[in-house]
Amino acid sequence: MKKIILMFLLVCTFTQLSALSTGDEAIELKTKFYNGKIFKTKFYIVDAKNQKKLKILVFARLLADDFLHSDSLIKNIGSRKNVSLAFAATSENEIGTFLKERPAFQYPLLFDRNAVKTYMEQNMIYPRAFVINYENKIIWDGEMIDLPDMLDKFENGKYDLEVNRKINRHLAEMQNALRAGSEYQLDRAARAILALEPGNLACLRMRMFSFENTNRFAEAWAFLDEFRRKYPNEKHLYMLQMDMAARYRQFSEAGAQVARAFINSKLGTANDWLLLSFLLLNHYENNTEALNCAGDLLKRLNSNSFGNDIMQKSLFFRTCALLHYKRCDLIEAVKNQSLACDVSNDAENRKILKYYQNLQKK
């Protein structure tokens, strides 16, 4: 759960871009497979009939905490129609341990030393994804956490390769500006990206890092506020502000107002609403408006909102229980936490249920 809440936190390591990037020809792998079906990076025949199909290769440090806790994210990507997904380990030594910990892992898992070097070069940001189209071109590369947004655009016919190539060039400028300590160049490149794609998370994370790493919190808040008001239909700008308010109490009251504006905007998905309700309940202390906003977001949801996703269903009931607990309704808190246990009877859910039950007895 901690990984989900921290999905909008900052990337702290910036290195040069990968050797292969958006617009380049994909390179086929000569590899060892350890799991799943054989995965070919390139399409065997370049045929326009396959223009809706994508191949996605993700380079990952398999035993890193962020990857081990990315099941929902991987499912979001791998379950999409017309997507072939595979994972490349950066270290062959990790594979055996990973498969023991994840025996149900269903995706192709491979190791190719040359591919790691060719695709990733000295890039240290993992897990990193490369999306390849029917013409065997890399049409997107970036952090796996940002991949669902790209796929949404592609599926809706709104993804623009040329725009993304421009964005990649500006991202490189931002990285160079960070290394050089040039605030002017950094801000100029960030604004150029946000003019092309107001919700570009890689840009926003980097810009927030530059502010927060130098303790310029008020400037960071003002930057997000400026662009949220300029682009009121971009959900990530709301979500980043709410996340920042959760981490810095001086913005808590303003963050609750952003939450109300987000609710009024009618943006987001069921997963967004659940994530934000959990955030508001756990990280906005003694804030009545945040509590009310969480309640309004949960009213939009029910257990069927999450299909067969057990983790999200369990989290939904757990969050409802927390809302009732904070509203001093222990009967409903116990009832909803019991439902969370019914969906996923893990140790954390049982611990919370016991806590509510013990309070109810007193």
Query: Each residue of 29-49: pLDDT tens digit?
Result: 877 788 878 888 888 888 888
pLDDT bracket for residue 190 (50, 70, 90): very high
CATH superfamily label, 2-157 = Glutaredoxin (3.40.30.10)
**By the 8 A CB rule, do 24 and 119 touch?**
no
The pLDDT of 217-231, averaged and rounded, is 97
pLDDT given for residue 44 in this prediction:
80
Please report, for the chain, the start and end positions of each structural domain, with discontinuous segments joined by +: 2-157, 160-214
Q: Tokens in use for 291?
A: 């509590």
| Range of lowest pLDDT (18-22, 112-116, 154-158, 320-324) | 18-22
The pLDDT of 239-262, averaged and rounded, is 97
Number of other CB atoms surrounding residue 218 within 10 Å:
12
DSSP code at position 319: H
If phi over 0 gives left and psi between -120 and 50 gives alpha, with beta otherwise, what is residue 197? beta
User: Is the predicted pLDDT of residue 159 greater than 50, yes or no?
Assistant: yes
Nearest C-alpha neighbor of 322 from the set 286, 291, 358 = 291
Alpha-carbon distance values, 310 to 71, 323, 329, 340 (Å):
11, 20, 25, 10
**In whole numbers, what is the pLDDT of the chain averaged over residues?**
90
* Position with higher pLDDT, 245 vs 24: 245
Distance CA 257, CA 287 (A): 11
Nearest C-alpha neighbor of 283 from the set 311, 234, 247 = 247
pLDDT given for residue 246 in this prediction:
96
* Position with higher pLDDT, 309 vs 357: 357
pLDDT bracket for residue 72 (50, 70, 90): confident
Distance CA 316, CA 303 (A): 7
Nearest C-alpha neighbor of 307 from the set 150, 152, 106, 76 = 76
